[in-house]
Structure 1
Amino acid sequence: MTSIMTNAAAMAALQTLRSIDTNLETTQSRVSSGYRVETASDNAGYWSIATTMRSDNAALSTVADALGLGAATVDTAYTALDNVIEVMSSIKAKLVAASEPGVDKEKINEEMKQLKNQLVSAAQSASFSGENWLYNTNVNELGTKQVVSSFVRGADGSVQVTTLDFDTADSVLIDTEDASRGFLTKAIDADALLPTPTGTAREYYLLDVGSVVPPTGDPIEIDNDTDTAALSDMISVVDDLISQLTDAAATLGAITSRIEMQDNFVSNLMDVIDKGVGRLVDADMNEESTRLKALQTQQQLGIQALSIANSSAEKLLTLFRE
């Protein structure tokens, strides 16, 4: 049936053209933005996952910055501690030299004073961003220091920030409040270092920085009246300090290695998350460009079909002509 009131062909052509225009608009949006899922209306599930993971990646980026700060702090402490061990080795060598007959012990002691000043300077200089793990001026102990290591999202959706912990009791060299809390300010019993202790304490300390709670025992200082037994005790104490400081430096070195590994892991993890999010929401530009050309062709054909359908009604006029 032919009707001038209802043009079924034009309606069908118009409906097809509308569908083509909608698909064309979607494809053009993907081509311009680069995203297959840009808003929640595109795909609520994928959009939600992508948004959450992007947020987590931003947190991981902050973790990477924190690791860099932590690495710098640890490196600063390690560098100063390594210098202190070298100076301590020099002090030990001076004490051994003082054991030789005929040497001027007072001149050696003057050299040792300069080396001690270097120890104080190294400890005071080991500061990064206000953090000094070798020199304590607080009433309380420095305690455990934490370096942010990662941001973790659990299977249940809970999140937490994990840290690397370091007890500064293993690194403090000088404590101006309590001398017993610093490696270089505390007293060490030379008798306890003997294979068979006699039971008579002979305590020595290396530095006196005027701590509120001063060190006990005798300072490691020599003059021409210092006997061989006292020198032997001082050498034993310094050697024990070097051993303890070496252990502390080894611990800091291990933390540095751990931070480097964690930093590499966080960097790789961020890349993997980016790739995962990309698989969910990124548009395949090869596919979209092909679809865009196809839809543009379909649009032209749709317009042509609609034009033909609209012109069919005009043919009815020929039936009424004289």
Structure 2
Amino acid sequence: MASIMTNTSAMTALQTLRRVTGDLETTQDRISTGLKVNNAKDNAAYWSIATTMKADVAGFKAVKESLELGSGTTNTASVASKNIVENLQTLKARVIAGQTNGVDKSLIQNDVDQLVKLIKGAAADASFNGDNLLRVTYSNDGTAKDKNVSILASLSRSDGSVDPSYIEFQRQDMRVESIVGKATIEQQVDSTNDLKASVGIKLGAPDTTFIDGQNLGLGAMTLTVTKEDGSKVDVSVDLSAQTYDTDLATTQGNIATAVNTALTAAGADFQVAFNGDTLEFTDQDVNTDGNFTAQISGLWVGSKESDAFGGLADLTQIDVVNNSKKSLEVINKLLDSAIGKASVIGSIENRVSVQNDFVSKLTDSMNKGIGALVDADMNEESSRLQALQVQQQLAIQALSIANQGPQNILSLFR
């Protein structure tokens, strides 16, 4: 039936044109954005998942940056710790050479001193972005303030919440800082000099090196005394509880009292007193024969890691001239300690590297998953675009033909 009131053909053609035009706009939008799901109206479920995962990817990018920073820090510390171990091995060889009679020990000691400076510099320079894993700072009571280190390593999503995880480890103190110097030991047996040994312990002026009540960081002082009757006695004085007490004189007096008490208890022939920053050991000439023949050997002031003493502080007391045997004993312990510390740093460096690689691969995998949900297939969209353009042209022609129907009816009345 031909009607001038209702053009059914035109309506059908118009609906087809609208549908094709809508599909064409959708396809063009996908091609221009590269996304088949660009907002929630395209696919609410996929858009929600993709948006959440994109937020996670952004979080993992921050994690990767943290790991990159951690990698730089641990790598710097690893290089420095390896250098320290190598220098300690060389230093040990020098100390062993100093055990031999007939060698110029002063020249060997000069080499030792230079190596100690190299080690001290390596520990001080192992800083990346202001962070040094070979240095620890301490509170006034002697406890470490910043020994624990955390590097952001990953993120985990569970029940709508995101929880961070960390690579946690401890700094490895390899500083050479020390307030104790080399011990001076008189080697002559028959002597009229009652001063037989001394050791520098520089506590400093009040509020410069220590503050009132601060632990000094001292450990055990050890020495061997050959008494005037020829017998030997080993003396050990625990100084670990010594703190800075009111002023320098009082603090030095407390140390001297502790040492004298131990010497007396051991029946040793010496007493001590501070002369400036030097703790001096004087022979008491117990047999009152006018000869001060008592001797001291192996004098060493132990320490514990603190602001005043680094993890390798005992290096400052290495002395192949006056204390070669004790120096060899100590360098062996220090080398073992340094190897252990370097191993810890190396293992953390490897762990950070492995985790960094994992996060990179995980991020790539997540991006791939997001792409599978929302990315447009450009090959498919390109083919669809061409087909829809043809359909649009045909729909326009069909609508044009349908719109000519009423004109054809009008011609019947001419």
Is the shorter-chain TM-score for this pair beyond 0.5, marking a shared fold? yes
Counterparts of 1:113 and 1:125, CA distance in 2: 18
- Residue 70 (structure 1) shift: 0.6
> In the TM superposition, what is the alpha-carbon distance from 1:122 to its structure 2 partner?
1.3
Deviates more, 1:234-243 or 1:105-114: 105-114
**Aligned equivalent of 1:153:** 157
Q: Paired residue for 2:328, among 223, 232, 235?
A: 235
| Structure ranking higher in strand proportion | 2
Q: Is the 8 A contact 2:92 2:328 kept in 1?
A: yes
CA contact (8 A) 1:188 1:204 kept: yes
Gaps of 5+ in 2: 179-209, 225-232, 237-297
Counterpart CA distance in 2 for 1:112 and 1:206 is: 19
1:319 and 2:412 equivalent?
A: yes
> What amino acid does structure 2 have at the position aligned with 1:297?
V
Equivalent positions of 1:113-128 (< 5 A) are 113-128=113-128
Question: Which residue number corresponds to residue 258 of structure 1?
Answer: 351
What CA distance in whole angstroms lies between the structure 1 residues aligned with 2:396 and 2:408?
A: 19
Cα gap change, 1:152 to 1:50, in 2 (>3 Å): same
Cross-structure match for 1:4: 4
Is 1:179–1:186's contact at 8 Å kept on the other side of the alignment?
A: no
Q: In 2, Cα distance between the equivalents of 1:51 and 1:8? A: 45
Q: Match of 1:220?
A: 318
Question: Which deviations, in whole Å up to 9, do the C-alpha atoms of 1:12-63 show, x marking residues without a partner?
Answer: 1111111111111111111121110111111111111111111211121121
Residue 48 of structure 2: aligned partner: 48
Q: What is aligned with 1:299?
A: 392
After TM superposition, list the pairs within 5 Å mapping 1:52-131 onto structure 2.
52-131=52-131
Corresponding residue for 1:163?
166
Partner of 2:147: 143
What's 1:309 paired with? Answer: 402
Equivalent residue for 1:276?
369
Q: CA RMSD in A?
A: 3.1
In the alignment, structure 1 segments of 5+ residues that lack a partner are 192-197
Q: What is the identity, as a one-letter code, of the residue corresponding to 2:122?
A: A
User: For residues 259 and 213 of structure 1, what CA distance do their matches in structure 2 show?
Assistant: 29
Aligned length: 303
- Deviation at residue 138 of structure 1 after TM alignment: 5.0
Q: Which residue identity does 1:161 align to in structure 2?
A: P
CA contact (8 A) 1:204 1:219 kept: yes
Give the CA deviation at 1:264. 0.9
Q: 1:232: how far off?
A: 2.9
With over 3 angstroms needed to count, the CA separation of the structure-2 counterparts of 1:30 and 1:188, relative to structure 1, is farther
Distance, in Å, in 1 between the alignment partners of 2:107 and 2:151 is: 45
Deviations 1:132-177 (A, max 9, x none): 12234554523201112112222x1211221111112x44434677
Alpha-carbon shift at residue 199 of structure 1 (Å): 7.8
Contact 2:222 / 2:235 at 8 angstroms: preserved in 1?
no
d(CA) in 2 for partners of 1:129, 1:317: 88
Letter in 2 for 1:29: D
Distance 1:93 1:273 in 2: 54
Give the match's secondary structure for 1:99: coil
2:165 corresponds to which letter in structure 1?
T
Paired residue for 1:244? 337
Note if contact 1:136-1:174 (Cα within 8 Å) is conserved in structure 2: no
C-alpha distance in 2 between matches for 1:73 and 1:146: 12
Q: Which residue of 2 aligns with 1:27?
A: 27
Q: In 2, are the aligned partners of 1:190 and 1:236 still within 8 Å (CA)?
A: no
Percentage of matched positions with identical amino acids: 40
C-alpha contact 2:223 2:234 (8 A) present in aligned 1: no
Mapped partners of 1:73, 1:190: distance in 2: 41
How far apart, CA to CA, are the structure 2 residues paired with 1:63 and 1:104? 56
The answer to whether the 8 A contact 2:136-2:147 is kept is no
Give the alignment's TM-score, normalised by structure 1. Answer: 0.84
Q: Within 2, Cα distance between the matches of 1:31 and 1:291?
A: 10
AA paired with 1:17?
Answer: L
Which amino acid in 2 is paired with 1:98?
Answer: G
Equivalent residue letter for 2:375? D
Contact kept? 2:223, 2:235, Cα under 8 Å? no
Compared CA separation, residues 127 and 179, structure 1 to 2 (3 A): farther
Q: CA deviation at 1:107?
A: 2.6
| Contact persistence 2:303–2:309 (CA under 8 A) | no
Residue 279 of structure 1 and its aligned partner are, at CA, apart by: 0.4
Q: Which amino acid aligns with 2:319?
A: E
Q: Which has the larger radius of gyration?
A: 2
Task: Give how far 1:110 is off.
Answer: 2.3
SS of the equivalent of 1:134 reads: coil
Give the letter for the 1:36 counterpart.
K
Match of 1:194 in 2: none
